Amino acid sequence: MPSDNPAQRAKLLTEEAAFDFAMGDERAALAKLEEAVKCDPASFESWLAKAEVHFALRELDAALAAGEKALSLQPKDIHIHTSLSRIWMERGDKAKAEHHGAQARILGWGDQLKSPEGKQPGELS
């Protein structure tokens, strides 16, 4: 992959991993995501994707570790709180699942209040 910029390389690897995952090749996706987080340990998108792929494979410890790393990078992201809620629910910790679910809802409400006329982010007029 021809990129001297670690952040750009991580982004490209994460995009390729998303394609692999969509095509049902979770192991290829994970290999690319491992490389992505080595290239750029601060790549939130790579850590989030890694959490989701591990979750899909029922590798809950690895999913949680990647999710917690993503959370440390962007603690006010709706998606990571949603992912962590799902992971904790599968692990059987309802209190932690509900905590992250509530955080996601609060962040979602904040986004609604910021958008004009209460429209969802990305919603067309």
What are the tens digits of pLDDT across the range 60-110? Answer: 999 999 999 999 999 999 999 999 999 999 999 999 999 999 999 999 988
Total domains, the chain: 1
Residue 48 is assigned to a structural domain of this protein: yes
Residue 71 is assigned to a structural domain of this protein: yes
Residue 122 is assigned to a structural domain of this protein: no
Domain extent, residue 55, equals 6-115
Residue 124 is assigned to a structural domain of this protein: no
Residue 31 is assigned to a structural domain of this protein: yes
Residue 125 has what pLDDT?
45
CATH code (residue 82): 1.25.40.10
- Say which residues have a Cβ less than 8 Å from residue 70's Cβ, sequence separation at least 6: 44, 47, 48, 50, 51, 77, 80, 83
Residue 103 is assigned to a structural domain of this protein: yes
